[in-house]
Amino acid sequence: MASVSFSAPMERGELRFFLVMACAMAATIVGGFSLDLATGRSTFAVPIIVHLHAVIFMGWVGLYLAQNALVFGGNRKLHRKLGWVSLIWVPLMVAAGLAIMRFTLQQRGGPPFFDQNQFLVSNPVALFTFAGLVAWAVTMRRDTGWHRRLMFVSFAMLTGPGWGRLLPMPLLIPYGWYISAILLPLIFPLIGMLADKRRHGRVHPAWLWAIGIFVGLQILADLIAYSPVGYQFTEWFLAGTPGADRQMQAFAPPM
């Protein structure tokens, strides 16, 4: 697999770019959840599963920021050691993500501005896509061009919940998932592609592979979610729970 070649000044500029973009993506996530708290749409008075999910996912935000800061600061030795934390942390994230999705759908009916069947199928697919990209990035750690771009796209995927809390989601029905979880997170890697084109004269293939996998699997998830099997699976998953009391289609909650 080809990699972009760097001169020392060019490499320094690229590391600065990745650190700045890491901060921008983290700000999107933190900003979305902070807005929820500030407006009273969320509270700390929630079951322990919600707190565990928050700690695990925000821990990854901190780890990703730290890793970019370490590389930019020249501490690659600590960066490499800290990177092995992902072998434990990413499986924890997948488990926590699946658990909170189950809780949200079965106990609360899921976010009202998403179709339940779409949320049930597309959310786990996104989680496993994230985990797969991180695993690929780890295997490519000796090729920094591939490694940092695969990690970048995997982290960009996590900005979806942040975007969803910053946007007027009821007004985006029935396109809320496509806008908040796919289109807007892709803004960050698209900026990365433009930066590559300006700095190196071409776009690194890692962007295209990672974006293609992400979008392709989300299209596949949608095809499954809106198939007869997808509807039947959603009804089975929700049967006998409070989540079955709401309509499966997205709706605008009362003010």
CB 72 within 8 A of CB 19: yes
In a domain, 29, yes or no: yes
Domain of residue 97: give its range: 8-240
In a domain, 198, yes or no: yes
Q: What's the confidence (pLDDT) of residue 43?
A: 83
Q: What's the confidence (pLDDT) of residue 192?
A: 98
- Rounded to whole angstroms, how far apart are CA atoms 255 and 237? 28
Q: What's the confidence (pLDDT) of residue 129?
A: 98
Tokens at residue 21, please? 């973009």
Count the domains in the chain: 1
In a domain, 249, yes or no: no
In a domain, 248, yes or no: no
Q: What residue has token string 């760097």?
A: 6
Amino acid (one-letter) located at 47: P
Q: What's the confidence (pLDDT) of residue 80?
A: 94
Q: What's the confidence (pLDDT) of residue 245?
A: 97
H or E stretch including 154? helix 144-157
Block means of pLDDT (10 residues each) for the chain, 255 residues, are 49 93 98 92 89 97 97 94 95 98 97 97 98 97 95 98 96 97 98 96 96 98 98 98 97 84
In a domain, 222, yes or no: yes
Residue of 39, 180, 61 whose CA lies nearest to 113: 180
**Distance, first Cα to last Cα, the chain:** 53
Residues in the chain, how many?
255
Indicate the burial class of 201 (C-beta count within 10 angstroms; 0-12, 13-18, 19 or more): exposed
- Judge if pTM exceeds 0.85: yes
Contacts of 246 (CB under 8 A, 6+ apart): 109, 110, 112, 116
In a domain, 253, yes or no: no
